[in-house]
């Protein structure tokens, strides 16, 4: 007999949701229930959904709804994976309500496998640059014109990696406001245009050369695969986990 199928409750049937649905077999999974109020067939409220046969929920919706969706899903005592950004500062509120020892939540600013590899490349590069003290640093992120949050959650993570590993750069400036950068600041620019799926770049600039590290998403499949791998991990591991922190364990399972 083959391994048991992982039954998935999919919350959000937008661009990401559809790709997760189409690729669920990657983890021997199957989307058995969908919630998305934009579709008449999937409007049954989360509170009323029967989860007796659900192994994990994957939530990709809107920053306005992410916090409340996760609350409702955890209340049903099922593992949750969420890629909805813009509300992660409230994770502590969720933890107070739902003890991480008894519940499972995997959250991430970016579930792309390639981007999580870039996080580690940027971290090691920043450490090297910090030891040389010859380079200034900058960031750039580009997304489609319909993206709600700016800067992206991924840009914030990259900025935190720079700040942690280059102490002289202790503040990311996402809006210059028509002034020069002050000591300790570095610029991180956002672009919104067309149908750009996701582009992130970190640059190190000196008097004599420039180094650029970048990730360009060709499509959303890489994000979906990462979210599905996180779902497989969530079924087996309790607690609250930032995807970037457990990435090595997730891809080695």
d(CA 139, CA 142): 10
Quick check: is 144 catalytic? no
DSSP state of 76: T
Helix (H) or strand (E) holding 188: strand 185-192
Helix orientation angle between 15-23 and 221-236, rounded to the nearest 10 degrees: 60
Choice among 15, 147, 221, 238 that is catalytic: 147
Contacts of 178 (CB under 8 A, 6+ apart): none
- Token pair belonging to 77: 């005592």
What stretches of 90-158 adopt beta strand conformation (E)?
A: 104-107, 136-143
Choice among 143, 169, 200, 244 that is catalytic: 143
Quick check: is 65 catalytic? no
Which residue is associated with the tokens 């969530």? 234
Q: Which residues are catalytic?
A: 143, 147
């Amino acid at each position: 007999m083959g391994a048991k199928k992982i039954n998935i409750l999919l919350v959000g049937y937008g661009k990401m949701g559809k790709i997760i649905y189409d690729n669920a077999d990657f983890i021997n999974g199957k989307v058995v229930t969908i919630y998305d109020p934009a579709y008449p067939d999937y409007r049954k409220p989360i509170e009323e959904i029967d989860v007796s046969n659900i192994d994990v929920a994957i939530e990709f919706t809107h920053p306005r709804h992410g916090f409340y969706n996760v609350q409702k899903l955890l209340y049903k005592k099922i593992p949750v994976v969420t890629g909805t950004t813009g509300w992660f500062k409230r994770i502590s509120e969720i933890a107070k309500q739902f003890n991480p020892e008894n519940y499972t939540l995997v959250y991430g600013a970016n579930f792309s496998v390639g981007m999580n590899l870039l996080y580690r490349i940027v971290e090691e590069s920043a450490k090297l640059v910090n030891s040389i003290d010859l380079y200034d640093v900058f960031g750039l992120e580009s997304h489609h014109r319909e993206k709600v949050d700016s800067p992206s959650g991924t840009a914030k993570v990259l900025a935190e990696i720079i700040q942690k590993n280059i102490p002289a750069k202790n503040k990311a400036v996402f809006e210059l406001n028509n002034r020069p950068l002050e000591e300790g600041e570095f610029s991180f620019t956002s672009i919104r245009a067309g149908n750009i799926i996701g582009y992130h770049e970190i640059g190190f600039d000196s008097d004599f050369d420039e180094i650029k590290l970048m990730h360009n998403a060709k499509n959303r499949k890489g994000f979906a695969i990462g979210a599905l791998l996180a779902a497989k991990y969530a079924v087996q591991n309790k607690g609250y986990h930032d995807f970037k922190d457990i990435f090595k364990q997730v891809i080695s399972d």
